Amino acid sequence: MHNYDPASFHTAIEGKLKRKHRTTLEEATDKEIYYSIASIIQDLVMPKWFETNQEIQQNKSKQVYYISMEFLIGRLIESNLQNCGLLDICNQTLLDLGRRPERIYEQEHDAALGNGGLGRLAACFLDSIASLGYAGHGSGIRYRYGLFEQRIIHGNQVELPDYWLKEEYPWETRKPDEAVEIRFGGTVHEHKRRDGSLEISYENTDSVMAVPYDVPVLGYHNEVVNTLRLWSAELSPAENKGLSASDQQYYHHLDHIHSIEQISGFLYPDDSTFEGKELRLKQQYFLVSATIKNIIANFRRNHDLPLSMMPEYTVIQINDTHPSLAVPELMRILMDEEGYGWEKAWQITTNLLAYTNHTTLSEALEKWPVSMIQNLLPRLYMIIHEINERFCEQIYTTHPELRDKIHELAIISYEQIHMAHLAIVGSFSVNGVAKIHTEILKNKEMKNFYTLYPKKFNNKTNGITHRRWLQQVNPCLASKITDVIGPRWVHEPHKLMNLLRYTNDAPFLETMKDCKQHSKHLLAKYVYEQQGVKLNTDSIFDVQIKRLHEYKRQLMNVFHIIYLYNELKDNPNMDITPRTFIFAAKAAPSYHLAKEVIKLIHHVASVVNNDPDIKDKLKVVFLENYNVSLAEKIIPAAEVSEQISTASKEASGTGNMKMMMNGAITCGTLDGANIEIRDFVGDDNIFIFGLTAEQVLDYYAHGGYDAKSIYHADVRVKRVLDQLNGGVFGSQEIEFKDLFYNIMYHNDPFFVLKDFGPYVETHEMIDRAYRDQNHWQRMAATNIAHSGKFSSDRTIMEYVSDIWKL
Ligand code: 4GP
């Protein structure tokens, strides 16, 4: 994509600094250099972006649109440099200039347009789609504020707004000419035409403009540039009243503008209030309506064909149920604006849409009150109602055995609209994100739908882009891998399997270990700079980084730390491999118990880290403000990857894949993709413990288990819980009552105590295994070798061949 060498790149930066910032290489700030580099990349990208679009138009290629409320893309500077083949040249140039490359790249604010796995998956998918050369685009919202910025004050999480756009975002291009109008509210009128058909019109709707901002998605070394289109909500020109400050209406009008801009204001408005919920619904409709209008416009631009042909050239993947209003919105446009009858419109819609489910947690399965949709989207409600009527009737006539289940299957029941049901009924494909997750969908959560539509259900085990999560974040390891197996693995990640030939190669294992030590030093340096805590880089770096949620069981990890602390206090000479426990996690702002766990980690850290008896044997650190960039620092240094969710709860997990790819050994339950990792690497290269999904589901079916009996029977457990309840950690006795009560009196809904014993024993095995470094490095190499299976390139190829048919 470029003809730069270090000398000409140097000149290019110099030129940009002069022309854009009126400064010199010597005097420029890191930020000015960052913007100059970004601008050089954009200059390279723009013509390729144009050409990619031209090619799609000329070849009439089938395109996939990935609609998602979240794209957790993090920083783009390094991955863009890497994908256009400039990363090494840029690093060298910066070093020659006496600048630290990481300091320059850090100038980019993480685009935190997502919350966790689902959003990061969307970002990995875009990278793989472009790198494999497919025509595929993301469509999301350009939230002015991303996921909150986390600060920890006296151990408590405090949320600050994440105003990531306060400075220019160099990757985006505003496309005002492609803005579309989105309408909310109003009343619907039906008029019968002479031929008996219905004409629908709307009155008194509120209009909002959806203005696209395009971010390029660069394929790796292939000159392909796809698009991530992020929509921003603005005042519709028709509504711009042009009032002056002396007008009575002026302030009212300002409020109105503010309420419109709120639609793309925040990721996750607080949905504990009616207004918050309604705003989230508005966001969903805003995204869906803008995207579909855009898709139709693109189709018209590229083809001289009726819309009924769209499914031949277009497929729309909806990322979880958040964009499932796509079903009625497509129906609305096809019928009310394009004149199709119901049957034809339904055929087109259900051949265009495919749905991915990411969770079976009941609180995450979206339901909207009928009244809210009726008010906000009256025409869509009419359509959903009709879809539901037809669907229920179809069950009644074609599946008599399900007649008594109709109320469970219905899209509308008890005054609620079940978005997952709508998505399943309105799509041609429904997929889970790991084998076990898909099995749970088919055999339990969505069993009756599976009976109705067995062919729709399929599995697509998640993946992660190895270009970012190995090549970019761990250049040391990546280069050592290339030294032994050659560079092909970057294009064909399954070739990492060739590393299996080196699992007994002592020099290779030694270099792997050196890389791990190097990454541990870098992380230790960061921790020291951030918190003044010195890490022992000879200790095991044991990492749990992910959203804070009860089902992910950070609490069990903390209980284990408290247990180890007790053991060491009782027996200071105990033979233990030193450990550093590393956490990073954000808790949803209104999730009290999750925030309590964050506080507990901090209190435990302060006791353990400051106890002179413990010396360097145990350390606990919690790194603030978990985001993509922080994950990039931690993952290369991880040696134990904690994937300890209550079995059946974690749909897949993707952190497990990132860490195995960097040579960490998984300590995990038989949940999500851990099972597939185990199947690939074999029992000897992973530490598995705990209840199986089947056992967990069986307990749930029988009302849970008796947590108190474990408390009374296991002295280790009793001691830890009594400490929790007795003010040992924290300044007052009542500090962690709620955590204690949840386990003891709400019957430990996530089986922390039940799995605690096996978890402790597994960690004892890890402790012993680590002492044989040769063996440990062999396990690490085996994990890396098999991690190619978890590249999102593999996942995308499966989507392409089974669902998208690009
Ligand atoms: C997550 C799941 O919890 C995680 O297991 C999975 O790996 C990830 O999606 C990607 O499929 N779900 C969410 C969510 O992030 O918001 O439901």
Please give the full DSSP string across 451-486, using - where no structure is assigned. HH-TTTEEE----B-HIIIIIIT-HHHHHHHHHHH-
Instruction: Assess contact for 464 and 791: CB atoms under 8 A.
Output: yes
Q: Is 441 exposed, middle or buried (0-12, 13-18, 19+ CB in 10 A)?
A: buried
Q: Residue 254: its pLDDT value, please?
A: 85
> 787 CB contacts (<8 Å, ≥6 apart)?
466, 470, 493, 496, 657, 660, 661
Say how many Å lie between the CA of residue 320 and the centre of ligand 1.
9
Distance CA 99, CA 101 (A): 6
Any atom of ligand 1 within 6 Å of the Cβ of 462: yes
Same domain flag for 180 and 195 = yes
> 314 CB contacts (<8 Å, ≥6 apart)?
62, 63, 64, 65, 295, 299, 352
Same domain flag for 95 and 116 = no
Residue 795 lies in a domain: no
Last residue of a domain, one of 409, 443, 462: 462
Q: Residue 731: its pLDDT value, please?
A: 67
Q: Residue 273: its pLDDT value, please?
A: 85
Q: Whose alpha carbon is nearest atom 14 of ligand 1?
A: 118
Q: What are phi and psi of 541, to 5 degrees?
A: -90, 110
Element (H, E) at 70: none
What ranges make up the beta strands (E) of 89-130? 111-113
Give the residue, out of 115, 118, 644, with the most ligand 1 atoms within 8 A of its beta carbon, to mutate for a pocket test: 118
Any atom of ligand 1 within 6 Å of the Cβ of 431: no
Question: Is 90 exceeded by the pLDDT of residue 727?
Answer: no
Name the nearest CA neighbour of 416 among 366, 375, 380.
366
Q: What are phi and psi of 210, to 5 degrees?
A: -105, 115
How many CA atoms are closer than 13 Å to the CA of 52, on its beta-carbon side? 24
Any atom of ligand 1 within 6 Å of the Cβ of 136: no
Same domain flag for 482 and 532 = yes
Q: How confident is the model at residue 249 (pLDDT cuts 50, 70, 90)?
A: confident
Q: Residue 244: its pLDDT value, please?
A: 75
Name the nearest CA neighbour of 645 among 635, 656, 659, 634.
656
Q: How confident is the model at residue 53 (pLDDT cuts 50, 70, 90)?
A: very high
Q: What are phi and psi of 581, to 5 degrees?
A: -95, 120
Any atom of ligand 1 within 6 Å of the Cβ of 117: yes
Is residue 621 classed as helix, strand or coil in its secondary structure?
A: strand
Distance CA 629, CA 634 (A): 9
Residue 620 lies in a domain: yes
Say how many Å lie between the CA of residue 460 and the centre of ligand 1.
13
Residue with tokens 């009858």: 341
Say how many Å lie between the CA of residue 426 and the centre of ligand 1.
22
Give the residue, out of 358, 547, 641, 676, with the most ligand 1 atoms within 8 A of its beta carbon, to mutate for a pocket test: 358
Question: Is 90 exceeded by the pLDDT of residue 766?
Answer: yes
User: Which ligand 1 atom is at minimum distance from the Cα of 364?
Assistant: 17
Distance CA 169, CA 37 (A): 13
Cα torsion angle, 497, 500, 505, 511, sign = positive
Q: Whose alpha carbon is nearest atom 8 of ligand 1?
A: 117
Residue 248 neighbours by CB distance under 10 Å = 8
Distance CA 581, CA 544 (A): 8
Residue 545 lies in a domain: yes
The domain that holds 261 is classified in CATH as: 3.40.50.2000
Is residue 106 classed as helix, strand or coil in its secondary structure?
A: coil
Question: Is 80 exceeded by the pLDDT of residue 596?
Answer: yes
Residue 541 lies in a domain: yes
Element (H, E) at 562: helix 554-570
Pairing label, strands 353-356, 314-319: parallel
Rounded to an integer, the average pLDDT of 123-128 is 98
Last residue of a domain, one of 405, 440, 462: 462
Same domain flag for 52 and 117 = no
Q: How confident is the model at residue 576 (pLDDT cuts 50, 70, 90)?
A: very high
Name the nearest CA neighbour of 33 among 112, 102, 84, 85.
102
Tell me the H-state helices in 573-648: 592-609, 628-634
What distances in angstroms separate CA 318 from CA 70, 183, 621, one per listed residue? 11, 21, 37
Residue with tokens 């469970």: 408
Q: Residue 733: its pLDDT value, please?
A: 64
Say how many Å lie between the CA of residue 427 and the centre of ligand 1.
20
Say how many Å lie between the CA of residue 164 and the centre of ligand 1.
24
Q: Residue 297: its pLDDT value, please?
A: 97
Q: Which residues pair with 641 in a beta bridge?
A: 543, 666
> 125 CB contacts (<8 Å, ≥6 apart)?
66, 136, 792, 795, 796
What distances in angstroms separate CA 381 from CA 310, 387, 404, 426, 732, one per listed residue? 25, 10, 25, 15, 52
Q: Whose alpha carbon is nearest atom 13 of ligand 1?
A: 118
The ipTM of this complex is 0.99
Element (H, E) at 66: strand 63-67
Same domain flag for 145 and 32 = no
Distance CA 346, CA 259 (A): 34
Q: Residue 269: its pLDDT value, please?
A: 76
Say how many Å lie between the CA of residue 572 and the centre of ligand 1.
41
Give the residue, out of 641, 652, 796, with the most ligand 1 atoms within 8 A of its beta carbon, to mutate for a pocket test: 652
Q: Residue 485: its pLDDT value, please?
A: 98
Q: Whose alpha carbon is nearest atom 16 of ligand 1?
A: 118
Query: How high is the mean pLDDT of the chain?
Result: 95
Residue 485 neighbours by CB distance under 10 Å = 19
Q: Residue 671: its pLDDT value, please?
A: 98
Say how many Å lie between the CA of residue 359 and the centre of ligand 1.
6
Residue 51 lies in a domain: yes
User: Which ligand 1 atom is at minimum distance from the Cα of 672?
Assistant: 5
Any atom of ligand 1 within 6 Å of the Cβ of 653: yes
Is residue 314 classed as helix, strand or coil in its secondary structure?
A: strand
Active-site residues, by number, are 358, 546-547, 552, 654, 658
Specify the DSSP class assigned to residue 572: T
Distance CA 315, CA 802 (A): 12
Say how many Å lie between the CA of residue 545 and the centre of ligand 1.
14
Distance CA 408, CA 515 (A): 54
Say how many Å lie between the CA of residue 12 and the centre of ligand 1.
42
Rounded to an integer, the average pLDDT of 483-507 is 97
Residue 719 lies in a domain: no
Any atom of ligand 1 within 6 Å of the Cβ of 546: no
Q: What are phi and psi of 676, to 5 degrees?
A: -70, -35
- Give the domain range for residue 37: 1-59+76-109
- Burial readout 341-355 (b: 16 or more C-beta within 10 A, e: otherwise): eeebbbebbbbbbbb
Specify the DSSP class assigned to residue 333: I
Residue 414 lies in a domain: no
Instruction: Assess contact for 435 and 789: CB atoms under 8 A.
Output: no
Any atom of ligand 1 within 6 Å of the Cβ of 654: yes
Instruction: Assess contact for 230 and 114: CB atoms under 8 A.
Output: no
Specify the DSSP class assigned to residue 139: E
First CA to last CA across the chain, in angstroms?
A: 25
Q: How confident is the model at residue 641 (pLDDT cuts 50, 70, 90)?
A: very high
Q: Residue 268: its pLDDT value, please?
A: 82
Rounded to an integer, the average pLDDT of 152-171 is 96
Residue with tokens 């947690």: 361
Convert the pLDDT of each residue in 561-575 to its tens digit: 999 999 999 999 999
Any atom of ligand 1 within 6 Å of the Cβ of 651: yes
Q: What angle, rounded to 10 degrees, do the helices at 30-59 and 274-302 form?
A: 50
Specify the DSSP class assigned to residue 673: T
Q: Is 197 exposed, middle or buried (0-12, 13-18, 19+ CB in 10 A)?
A: exposed
Tell how many helices (H) and how many strands (E) occur in the chain.
32, 25
247-261, 348-362, 548-562, 685-699: least confidently modelled range: 247-261
Any atom of ligand 1 within 6 Å of the Cβ of 460: no
> 447 CB contacts (<8 Å, ≥6 apart)?
none
> 709 CB contacts (<8 Å, ≥6 apart)?
none
- For residue 605, give the amino acid letter: A
How many CA atoms are closer than 13 Å to the CA of 792, on its beta-carbon side? 23
Q: Residue 334: its pLDDT value, please?
A: 97
Q: Residue 175: its pLDDT value, please?
A: 97
Pairing label, strands 353-356, 367-369: unpaired
Rounded to an integer, the average pLDDT of 46-71 is 95
Same domain flag for 520 and 632 = yes
Element (H, E) at 494: none
Distance CA 127, CA 71 (A): 12
Residue 411 lies in a domain: no
Any atom of ligand 1 within 6 Å of the Cβ of 433: yes
Same domain flag for 16 and 163 = no
Element (H, E) at 516: helix 506-531
Same domain flag for 486 and 561 = yes
* Paired tokens of 145: 């504020």
Give the residue, out of 113, 271, 359, with the most ligand 1 atoms within 8 A of its beta carbon, to mutate for a pocket test: 359
Specify the DSSP class assigned to residue 261: H
* Number of compact structural domains in the chain: 3
Instruction: Assess contact for 317 and 65: CB atoms under 8 A.
Output: yes
Same domain flag for 354 and 307 = yes
Any atom of ligand 1 within 6 Å of the Cβ of 672: yes
Is residue 319 classed as helix, strand or coil in its secondary structure?
A: strand
Name the nearest CA neighbour of 532 among 436, 610, 475.
610
Any atom of ligand 1 within 6 Å of the Cβ of 364: yes
Same domain flag for 84 and 219 = no
Name the nearest CA neighbour of 373 among 325, 319, 330, 426.
325
Same domain flag for 94 and 175 = no
Distance CA 438, CA 445 (A): 10
Question: Is 90 exceeded by the pLDDT of residue 173?
Answer: yes
- Burial readout 381-397 (b: 16 or more C-beta within 10 A, e: otherwise): bbbbbebbeebbeebee
Same domain flag for 17 and 125 = no
